[in-house]
Structure 1
């Protein structure tokens, strides 16, 4: 990693605090183990080969995993991942209250889309993940955190703005703006409306809940979102949130961690704080 970044054996060795011949030996051993050329040496410097570039993401992941292992052993920090809606709209007050407890470890909060958080959890880069959906995997345990209703959001001037609730049949005939991919909303709608539908149509795929909210405010359409994501907009009346009368349109949000560290004090304490 240092050599690819510095493009110089001398500079990389200096950054690492080792002798240049030692660095050369390390690179040579790595090339022998992988049976491939990683660095092209030249008088003007050195260039990583295509193979070196292919190795870089794995090298970075190994360094992160090494850091996480040391932090886990010391118990001084906790790396928590959250899917976007949870991390932006729901989790942060809980992280703050946890960090305010006596002897709490430092919490590093990572917010990304649901598939990215799942990948980081399974690769060992996260201690805990709070997610909108999770495919059960051996070696991990999932615990229910909270059930969050899904609501229809419309601008205040919309014909539906005065409704106290909306039923399944009316909702099925609507066209909705699409939000962040990978949140499991499609699966949720399939369960709610049945395998054969009818289903609401999706007119756009806007990429995030924030984009959806802005689009609804400007009159581009209406959408379904988690109720917690629009609490502020509902408070100031820039959006109206309409509950669905039929039961079942809600998401079960989950807390997931690896079995191997589930009883590790920082992990178990945080999960207990979140789920009490």
Structure 2
């Protein structure tokens, strides 16, 4: 089954609007001979004559007037289809810690660089919600704190983030250079409940001893955890990058665990059906390249 050539349809519309082959060709950036050939091919495919020439210029035939609304709809649909992907902002879904504490300097650098015409829309959710919205297409590219390896996606390791113990300045651990791992056993932690990214990391880090790590309160966000630690209601294990401001201000003290402690792997993920030239694919690849040193210089 043959299909209509949209370039030929666009030339037909240009001539019909200008009532002149010469003017229509000029608007299209074509020679008069080239646009004439396009109309001849379109008429041959449709099996009718669309345009009549005369000494005053040209006019649409009866068949040309019948074809006109179809041609307009075809070009409108084509423009809308292209715009759905070319002009649509890239929607980045970020898990809470990444979206709040890590992503903003990267977005700023991307928009300032050669990609200044790009449109980025950032939406921050809990990690499972980001995964769900990536699956439904509401998110084009995701920055996540854990990934379950489900098929149909391209997941790239972005960076590793150190986890540190945070305590108030007057806490007995505040003067320690590092915390022996056994000291967390039996101490109720704020946050890090099973099923969360931090909970998974603690389970891997402590192995068979993981049941000795207890969670005192499930507060739901790093911001809530920090407020409760500052109030002297417990200690917690958080991303080092999430407490930079509080450490500088003297409101909290971070204590690394011995032997480097656990680290959290962060991932950039997109659907594997995205073409390499898709804006979301380009942005995701750029983020990954920043982490390996080949991308932009990012300052936090």
What TM-score comes out, normalization by structure 2 length?
0.65
Structure showing greater Rg: 2
Please state how far the C-alpha of 1:189 moved relative to its aligned partner. 0.8
Bigger shift: 204-213 or 189-198? 189-198
Say whether the 8 Å CA contact 1:113–1:182 is kept in structure 2.
Answer: no
Partner of 2:220: 207
Q: CA deviation at 1:172?
A: 2.1
Matched, 1:86 2:102: no
Aligned to 2:160: 147
Is the 1:165–1:242 Cα contact (8 Å) retained in structure 2? yes
Cα separation, 2, equivalents of 1:196 and 1:212:
24
Partners of 2:163 and 2:261 lie apart in 1 by 9
Tell me if 1:165 matches 2:174. Answer: no
Distance 1:219-1:248 versus aligned 2 partners, 3 A rule: closer
1-structure distance, mates of 2:178, 2:147:
29
Rate the CA distance shift 1:240–1:111 in 2: closer, same or farther, 3 A. same
Match of 1:99 in 2: 111
State the alpha-carbon separation in 1 of the partners of residues 151 and 238 from structure 2: 31
RMSD of Structure 2 on Structure 1 (CA):
1.9
Taking the TM superposition and a 5 Å limit, the aligned residue runs for 1:39-118 are 73-103=85-115, 104-118=117-131
Q: Which runs of 5+ in 1 are unaligned?
A: 1-68
The one of 227, 230, 234 aligned to 2:240 = 227
Q: Secondary structure at the match of 1:79?
A: strand
**Structure 2 residue aligned with 1:258, among 271, 279, 284?**
271
Distance between the aligned counterparts of 1:249 and 1:232, measured in 2? 22
**TM-score, L = length of structure 1:** 0.71
Shift of 1:266: 1.2
| Residues 1:127 and 1:155: Cα distance change in structure 2 (over 3 Å) | same
Looking at structure 1, the residues matched to 123 and 211 of structure 2 have their Cα atoms a distance apart, in angstroms, of: 37
Q: Is the 8 A contact 1:181 1:207 kept in 2?
A: no
Q: Give the Å deviation of 1:263.
A: 1.2
Q: In structure 1, how many angstroms separate the alpha carbons of the residues matched to 2:212 and 2:84? A: 46
1:216 aligns with 2:229: yes
Q: How many residues align?
A: 208
- Structure (1/2) with the larger helix percentage: 2
Contact between 2:95 and 2:130, CA under 8 Å: does it hold in 1? yes
Q: Residue deviations 1:101-145, cap 9 Å, x none?
A: 234410000001001101000111111000001111111010011
Unaligned runs of 5+ in 2: 1-80, 290-300
SS in 2 for 1:96: helix
Partner SS state of residue 238, structure 1 = coil
In 1, Cα distance between the equivalents of 2:237 and 2:129?
Answer: 22
Q: 1:245 and 2:254 equivalent?
A: no
Contact residue 81 and residue 109 of structure 1 kept, 8 A? yes
Task: Give the Cα separation in 1 of the matches to 2:123 and 2:176.
Answer: 37
Which position in structure 1 is the counterpart of 2:55?
A: none
